[in-house]
Structure 1
Amino acid sequence: MIYRFGDCVVDRRQRTLRRGGEAVTVEPQVFDLLLVLIENRERVVGRDELIDAVWAGRIVSEATVDSRISAARRAIGDSGSAQAMIRTLPRRGFRFVSMVLGEVPPVVAEEPVLAVPDLPSIAVLPFDNRSADAPLALLGDTLVEDVTALLARVAGFFVISARSAGVYRERAVDLRTVGRELGVRYVVTGSLRAAGDHVRVAVQLTDATSGVQCWSAPFDVARAAMVDLQADVARAVVRALEPELTRAELAVIRRRGSGDLDAWACFRQAVGVLTVGGWNEETIAQTRTHLRCAIERDPGFGLAHAYAGLVVALAQVFGLLPDSDMLRGEIRRMAMTALELDPDNPEVLGYAGCALADLGDYRAAFDVIERALEIDPSNAQAWMVRGVCLTYTERVSDGIADLRRGMRLSPLDRRLGMWGALLAGCLLRVGRLTEARDEARLAQRRDRSLYFAALVEALALHRSGRDDDARTALAQARRMRPRLVLNQMQVYLGAAAVEELAAVEQSAVLVPVKLVAGG
């Protein structure tokens, strides 16, 4: 459902807010609170009901609720005056009073139904930080990512990417719903609580088909030993799921993140801006600014270097930055710097490998990606890059299979639209036109900023002999990106394909006017 009010548009499925046509970055709890008020706008929502819906009944102060209400008001441009959109009713609660128009997004293609694999399938959700301790939250994120990677290395397990599981951060959800949405049988959840120089980590394993808890365990560790905890958690989960797999060798992954919270904040802002704002020049400029901030704060932050290289490479591919030797040199330097700084971080390897693939260096990219998948076989980004490398080096069947595997490993990933556009482009390249068209349409449904997916759709339709429909798809691409210049898409589509699109666009046939006798 999409909700429109004032100059705001809230997309429930994409979890995005736009105001005046501009993307607005909103914290997950604030977005959830806004949805609760919008969807219950016919009545007053009490504080207790709001806490149950947004915080899953956890104890929170009135000041916390009020601060989230204030943040929601700022996000939608509500000044709190007589024309307030969110109204506070003393001792009763809150009500959303602005007129709301709701609409269901048009169905371009059906979302695939995710079947639960026959082998043990599992997702590790973000752990709940129950202390007002930002460094502990970062340690918790690293723990979740590493437990996911370790479980993925166990033969016979199907493990969902940490990025896709991350959409449930700070959301109150039924684990049976999580199981259905991710297509898994088991879900790992946990919490962290600081106690002096120690941390108590509580971990639970739940059967998502029934909602029944299979196992739980507490871990009390010194804060300094948190980096060694992931192997213990992973082994315990394996032992609870499949006793015969306890012999599996689980190597401990050590990664170098950034100890500078400001650097992390800049990095997360960069990711958030690109996620919400979509692919355009303004968003790319903002993203690069945040990444430069992260690198300035911590020059040894490998993940920021890798992501910066990826963003610039993709922006160049999609015609948002010029295709120049200078920029290509910058991309390669950022990727190689990231690999030197953090060679054992699968996320760094995935981003750097993607940047190298976008430069057309498929051999180097493939080597980097193979290393990423050795460390973390659940790294969906790495599977996508591997698929592109194989497709462009004529191993088509294997490449398409890897692309589909990457998307299945992270079915709720916010990059799914982008990945679908990549899959559509590869299918187009090998002449599988109907599949390319369907995947391009689905990519646009998932992310309405993907003008390049509309171009792939137009090419697939043209090559199928459907030029009228191809022109419709081209017109859609121009609506998505009014500044579209076809010649700037040569890196992505190739010069011959750009010429095809230009010819299709210019070939609109004027219907001849018949002269009527005596007229």
Structure 2
Amino acid sequence: MQGSRFAFGPFVLDPSAGTLLRNDNPVAVGYRGLRLLAALVERQGEILGKAELMDAAWPGRAVEEGNLTVQIAQLRKLLGPAGDGGEGGGEWIATVPRVGYRFLGAVERLGAKRKPLPLPEKPSIAVLPFINLSNDPEQESFADGLTEDLITDLSRISGLFVIARNSVFAYKGKTFAVGEIAEDLGVRYLLEGSARRAAGRVRINAQLVDAVSGDHLWAQRFDRSLEDVFAVQDEVTARIVEALLGRLRAPPPRNRPRNLEAYDLCVRARKLMDDTPQTAREAHLMLTRAVSLDPEYAEAYRWLAMNHWMGWVHSGGPTESSRSIALELARKAVSIDPNDAGCRWVLAYLLAYERSFAEADAEFGHAIEIDPNEADAWAALSDIAVLAGRIGEGLEHIGKAFRLNPYPASWYYLALGQAQYAAGDYEAAVETLRSDETYRTSSRRFLAASLAQLGRLDAARAEVELFLIGNPDFTIRHWATTEPFRDAATLEHFVDGFRKAGLPE
């Protein structure tokens, strides 16, 4: 799903890249302003209500209407008078009294700039989000969980290249041609399907499509008891592998949940992991309930470990008690299911922060061996490799992660920007860390350091000020002592950038 760009007057807006150009020159526009402008331009001529605009700029947050008024005024000043003879006093953005705002200028939708991804040498596949055909919208998470589990099952087949969950869910609820999606993700094959769950039964339809030829390679409908849903997942996986690779020896079996309520809770909770502290607390309650319902459910322990590690501590890193609990939960997850790559890399990551580097390296190795398509494992490994001074490896690892997951979570951009900074490629780091996907997060500290190393001290200090609003307890000393550095020169490089940017000692 390559994001469109929008041209109006002398401007080109690229919402996915977080940039606004005037006559090909960058325009300094803030994150909120960019979100508002994108919402208005994408629906040129329509009246957008104030509530809708505030939700676009401050998603999930309650803000006063005055904040919207200020942002609109700043956008008008930034854009200047419209040059196309539009109404509304020559302004690009018109006020609709007591209702909202409307974008008046003529807008041309441009194609995306990103080049198509080359096909891998292996047979490559993306599992598109299964459609929920139940009348109950609460069953949406069941269809999502089915999609995610099939991705996990297929990715463990070493002969396949499988796109990660985050990227395929970028297409959920949107209409795109099969060929367009396949080209966008750089894969040849797509798995499409639907699910209906009702009255203790589940009906699943699935079809495998060759996006190059347009042929349907395999299609089948399953109508089973709900208790058989995981057996259906195994059968779908086997049919796809047979169609693409022939008959292969199956990998070791995965640990499956014994309780469907625990499964539903885990599916819902893992969607909340990278969000706000409030949603992290919701995830904690769901995962705690899941493990109480099914004490042998490895994936629930894995996500609960990460929840303790990062969920409540967006500002400064986990406390000693949280780290200890997280590590204990991660070890339990691996002991229950040693064949789950996700459990392995989470344990590896936490071990690195405990300075158990040899054990961490071994666990990362196990994770990649079990599932070479586990994009999160490559991204986490990049972080640890960079802090060990293996910067070239780190860049290679994060490159693999992005190829497997072209539309990833925000923390991938932090890992990439961190690696680019460590390599001394400050301009690239600034471009990465200013992207819309990560700009509002704690990755700002690396953006500030990159700007400082480029001599752009005013911009660096502005980013520090914004960073400290959300991270008031951050200090260089605490960060340097808690991050798992293994290379003194790399540590000093980061500390130098932080100091130049003006982060507190």
- TM category, shorter: 0.5 to 0.7
1:433 to 424, 430, 438: 424
| Amino acid in structure 2 at the alignment position of 1:331 | A
1:188 is displaced (CA, Å) by: 0.7
Who is 1:99 aligned against?
A: 101
| Amino acid in structure 1 at the alignment position of 2:277 | I
2:373 paired with 1:373? no
**Partner deviation per Cα, 1:315-347 (whole Å, 9 max, x = no partner):** 79974346x533432332232233344444433
SS at match of 1:191: strand
**Partner deviation per Cα, 1:271-327 (whole Å, 9 max, x = no partner):** 43743xxxxxxx3354135314430453335434433433443579974346x5334
1:164 is displaced (CA, Å) by: 2.1
| Amino acid in structure 2 at the alignment position of 1:346 | A
2:173 paired with 1:178? no
Q: In structure 1, what is the Cα distance between the partners aligned to 2:258 and 2:189?
A: 31
2:46 to 39, 42, 49: 42
2:302 to 292, 296, 306: 306
1:400 to 392, 395, 407: 395
* 1:410–1:330 distance in 2 versus 1, CA, 3 Å: same
| Amino acid in structure 2 at the alignment position of 1:456 | F
**Partner deviation per Cα, 1:113-152 (whole Å, 9 max, x = no partner):** 5333343221011222322468976665454334334433
SS at match of 2:221: strand
| Amino acid in structure 2 at the alignment position of 1:250 | A
The 5-angstrom pairing of residues 53-452 of structure 1 reads 98-100=100-102, 113-132=116-135, 140-194=143-197, 198-209=201-212, 213-240=216-243, 242=244, 245-251=245-251, 253-257=253-257, 259=259, 261=261, 264-265=264-265, 268=268, 271-272=271-272, 274-275=274-275, 283-284=276-277, 286-296=279-289, 298-299=291-292, 300=295, 302-314=298-310, 319-321=315-317, 324-393=319-388, 395-413=390-408, 415=409, 417-429=410-422, 432-434=423-425, 437-450=427-440, 452=442
SS at match of 2:125: strand
Q: In structure 1, what is the Cα distance between the partners aligned to 2:350 and 2:258?
A: 21
1:172 is displaced (CA, Å) by: 3.1
SS at match of 1:298: helix
* 1:210–1:474 distance in 2 versus 1, CA, 3 Å: farther
Who is 1:459 aligned against?
A: 449
Q: Is the 8 A contact 2:179 2:212 kept in 1?
A: yes
Q: In structure 1, what is the Cα distance between the partners aligned to 2:104 and 2:468?
A: 25
SS at match of 1:187: strand
* 1:395–1:501 distance in 2 versus 1, CA, 3 Å: closer
* 1:407–1:502 distance in 2 versus 1, CA, 3 Å: closer
Q: In structure 2, what is the Cα distance between the partners aligned to 1:355 and 1:498?
A: 21
Q: In structure 1, what is the Cα distance between the partners aligned to 2:146 and 2:502?
A: 55
Q: In structure 2, what is the Cα distance between the partners aligned to 1:39 and 1:311?
A: 38
1:190 is displaced (CA, Å) by: 0.9
| Amino acid in structure 2 at the alignment position of 1:351 | V
Report the number of matched residues.
418
Could you tell me which runs of 5 or more consecutive residues in structure 2 were left unpaired when the two chains were aligned: 7-13, 19-29, 33-38, 49-54, 64-97, 108-112, 486-490
Q: In structure 1, what is the Cα distance between the partners aligned to 2:367 and 2:440?
A: 27
| Amino acid in structure 2 at the alignment position of 1:175 | V
SS at match of 1:145: helix
RMSD: 4.6
Percent identity between the aligned chains?
Answer: 22
Who is 1:51 aligned against?
A: none
Q: Is the 8 A contact 1:471 1:504 kept in 2?
A: no
2:475 paired with 1:475? no
Q: Is the 8 A contact 1:273 1:287 kept in 2?
A: yes
**Partner deviation per Cα, 1:165-212 (whole Å, 9 max, x = no partner):** 123333333222322321212211011235766543221122334655
* 1:144–1:252 distance in 2 versus 1, CA, 3 Å: farther
* 1:179–1:270 distance in 2 versus 1, CA, 3 Å: closer
Q: In structure 2, what is the Cα distance between the partners aligned to 1:398 and 1:501?
A: 22
TM-score, normalisation: structure 2: 0.67
| Amino acid in structure 1 at the alignment position of 2:246 | T
* 1:341–1:151 distance in 2 versus 1, CA, 3 Å: closer
* Deviating 4+ runs (over 6 angstroms): 35-38, 74-78, 133-136, 315-318
Q: In structure 2, what is the Cα distance between the partners aligned to 1:152 and 1:401?
A: 20
Q: In structure 1, what is the Cα distance between the partners aligned to 2:433 and 2:309?
A: 20
Q: In structure 1, what is the Cα distance between the partners aligned to 2:42 and 2:394?
A: 44
